[in-house]
Structure 1
Amino acid sequence: MAEDTSRVLIADDNKVNRLLLSRSVELLGHRSAPAENGRLALEKLRSEAFDLLLLDIEMPELDGFAVLEQIKADPQLREVPVIVTSSIEGLDNVVRCINLGAEDYLRKPVNQVLLKARIGASLEKKRLRDQQKALVRRFVTSEVADDLLQSDFALGGKWLCASVLFSDIRGFTALVESQGPEETIDLLNTYHMLMFDAIGSYGGAVNQIMGDGLMALFGAPLPLDDCAGSAVAAGQEMLGLIEQFNHERSAVNKPAIRIGIGIATGNVVAGYIGTQQRGTYTCIGDTVNLAARLEAHTKVAGCSILIDDATQRALGGSVPTQSLGEVPFKGKAAAVEIFSVMAGQLHGQS
């Protein structure tokens, strides 16, 4: 069971109290560790993994109120449940502890039946929260998961400057018709694994998978110093990985796959859309639409990576590009100058 591996930190300056609480905790099947004051408790919380903190209020160096304040202010600690065990009087002190994030307040001497019930309830709540976080991270990127968990899934959006990348596999429909469903799914899983690695290596976040296509964001939800350069570098890495992957496919007599990549840079509206029951993180706006148009235009231009003029300017000449002139795109009032990007080499490759 989960409780068998739970670790409980006991912060109390009174050695007898620590020993008594430690014995009670271990009789319930948990492991305990002592901290003689609030400062030591925080040090241990930041250096070791604990599932629960039993916290006294009146302690030297740093009292329990100060510990609660620091835990509440620290995103890495605020998920650790805290049960206050104290002898201080007054409803206002109890309320203050709860307002600072404590799960519960037990008066000393601690009733063993209540202690067992409170510890069990607190650990179960943490277990459910941990499961929720793990589930979120299975279905979204780590960047989106961190932003989602910190914002408590606040629906809404904001303006951001970001680079948007679209990519898909050329001739995928014909490829699907020539092979079985198991082989198709295996190909997609391998393809997405490679693309996620390339995109993540440069700070990007994949926020949509559409069969053989995907959409990635650079600069949202987390800012990047050089979102355009990161997106282009990721695109070059994607091409390099596909080239290596095709060598593997050729060795087993499977056809090579080709991808097209479109990248645009500019302002986007980014945020969570949907309902409290179901939602997603996404970006919308002209920049997103242009990146999708550029990806589709790679088939016409016969190029692997196409970028818009804003991305090309942001690169500052750091990446070789070739102007393909101005192209009218659906939804754009004026034609857009587009550029082809040279396919780079993988790091460590010659």
Structure 2
Amino acid sequence: MVEPKARVLIVDDNRVNRLLLSRSVEMLGYAVSVAENGRVAMERMSKDAFDLLLLDIEMPEMDGFEVLEAMKLVPSLCDLPVIVTSSVEGIDNIVRCIGLGAEDYLPKPVNPVLLKARLSSSLDKKRLRDEQKVLLRRFATSEVVQDLHEQGFALGGRRVHASILFSDIRDFTAISERQPPEETIELLNQYYTLMFEVIDSHGGIVTLMMGDGLMVLFGAPQPLVNPAAQAVAAAQDMLTMVDEFNLDRAAAKKPELRLGIGIATGEVVAGYAGTQARATYTCIGDKVNLASRLEAHTKIVAAQILMDEDTKNAVMTQQSVESVGRVFFNGFSNPVAVYTLTGLAQTRQG
């Protein structure tokens, strides 16, 4: 497979400079596009993806300094390497460019040997950063990646209003005992694929995977207007997705999957827990424990979704909810009011 050429955008208001610099860059094996000023360059970068920017400073409409400042405000352009190519002299200008995020500075006329070295070095760094981003996205949700990008990494947490969802596959141990381990792993991977798609679509993040069990957080690290509504909608979609998945399993003469889901809403402490070497984004609080207890209680009352009163109050104008009664849960001194969605248990358990 032939690796695609790195794409370089050359921004210079001087037509001769653009043509000569384009020829030099193309001879080094890169794909080249050009823009005659900063405004045009920003328009091009909003539509097309580039791997590196060669940027002049003195230009009409929008100069190089303004381009660097504008790029810092666009998340997709923050890490795009920029090499300034300018006849503007003075250490202050060079320092200003580097301070605004430029990777390097080459004076005009550009030395072709230095140009080759700077392009190669900057693109190698970008490839490494891109690989790190892919690796981070593989092991963290997009919300956590965004939080790390905006806030940086720091152990500790903050109080947030959120909803916590626990889900569990009923009788999963019995299912796994009747099939080879490889088949169980494949089943879990298929299940995770379906559930993560639903959870992501409702703004939730999976903070814990316990075999067939999931712990999901709605409302952090990125806030949601109504995390309870998103959690309940996600739970309903999870059940629908499993129903559709069961059609395929039935055709293959495989046992159907059934879910139990518990949702609790309120104040939790969310953040990074662990050490500087190894940490995870999670949350703690009574509401986390309650969501877990609610999920376990679905087995007792033969319901698939149970929620606490705070969740019920947040969704009752959108959902038809009924009381299951007040329940004493382990670890809670007072009985907890428990609710489910009207008709859901009968429809899906029937």
Quick check: TM above 0.5? yes
What amino acid maps onto 1:12 in structure 2?
D
1:58-90, Cα deviation, whole Å (9 max, x unpaired)? 111111111111112221211111001111111
Aligned equivalents of 2:11, 2:175: Cα separation in 1 = 63
Partner of residue 270, structure 2: 270
Q: Aligned pair 1:255/2:255, yes or no?
A: yes
Partner of residue 239, structure 1: 239
CA displacement at 1:4 relative to structure 2:
4.8
Partner of residue 88, structure 1: 88
Deviates more, 1:146-155 or 1:9-18: 146-155
Partner of residue 294, structure 1: 294
Aligned equivalents of 1:197, 1:109: Cα separation in 2 = 52
Partner of residue 116, structure 1: 116
Partner of residue 338, structure 2: 338
CA displacement at 1:338 relative to structure 2:
0.7
- The answer (yes or no) to whether the contact 1:4–1:29 under 8 Å persists in 2 is no
Partner of residue 97, structure 2: 97
- The answer (yes or no) to whether the contact 1:3–1:123 under 8 Å persists in 2 is no
1:168-195, Cα deviation, whole Å (9 max, x unpaired)? 1111112211111121112111211221
Aligned equivalents of 1:292, 1:241: Cα separation in 2 = 22
- The answer (yes or no) to whether the contact 1:162–1:268 under 8 Å persists in 2 is yes
Aligned residues: 345
The TM-score, its normalising length taken from structure 2, stands at 0.93
Partner of residue 28, structure 2: 28
Partner of residue 45, structure 1: 45
Aligned equivalents of 2:241, 2:149: Cα separation in 1 = 32
Partner of residue 213, structure 2: 213
1:257 alignment partner, SS class? coil
- The answer (yes or no) to whether the contact 2:85–2:108 under 8 Å persists in 1 is yes
What is the percentage of aligned positions where both structures have the same residue?
61
CA displacement at 1:302 relative to structure 2:
1.8
Change (3 A) 1:330 1:344: closer
Aligned equivalents of 2:171, 2:100: Cα separation in 1 = 58
Partner of residue 348, structure 1: none
What amino acid maps onto 1:281 in structure 2?
Y
CA displacement at 1:198 relative to structure 2:
2.2
Alignment of 1:48-59 (within 5 A): 48-59=48-59
Alignment of 1:118-267 (within 5 A): 118-267=118-267
Aligned equivalents of 1:26, 1:229: Cα separation in 2 = 54
1:102 alignment partner, SS class? coil
Change (3 A) 1:42 1:334: same
Alignment of 1:301-312 (within 5 A): 301-312=301-312
1:1-28, Cα deviation, whole Å (9 max, x unpaired)? 9985211111111111111111111111
Aligned equivalents of 1:55, 1:201: Cα separation in 2 = 39
- The answer (yes or no) to whether the contact 1:204–1:218 under 8 Å persists in 2 is yes
CA displacement at 1:214 relative to structure 2:
0.4
CA displacement at 1:146 relative to structure 2:
2.4
1:29 alignment partner, SS class? coil
| Structure 1: gaps of 5 or more residues | 346-350
Change (3 A) 1:50 1:301: same
Aligned equivalents of 1:334, 1:315: Cα separation in 2 = 23
2:72 alignment partner, SS class? helix
- The answer (yes or no) to whether the contact 2:26–2:32 under 8 Å persists in 1 is yes
CA displacement at 1:344 relative to structure 2:
5.6
1:91-118, Cα deviation, whole Å (9 max, x unpaired)? 1111111110000111111111111111
1:58 alignment partner, SS class? coil
- The answer (yes or no) to whether the contact 2:304–2:344 under 8 Å persists in 1 is no
Change (3 A) 1:198 1:74: closer
Aligned equivalents of 2:229, 2:342: Cα separation in 1 = 13
Change (3 A) 1:3 1:98: farther
- The answer (yes or no) to whether the contact 2:82–2:102 under 8 Å persists in 1 is yes
What amino acid maps onto 2:263 in structure 1?
I
Change (3 A) 1:276 1:12: farther
What amino acid maps onto 2:85 in structure 1?
T
1:255-291, Cα deviation, whole Å (9 max, x unpaired)? 2221110000011111222334322111111111111
Aligned equivalents of 1:336, 1:234: Cα separation in 2 = 23
2:338 alignment partner, SS class? strand
- The answer (yes or no) to whether the contact 1:237–1:344 under 8 Å persists in 2 is no
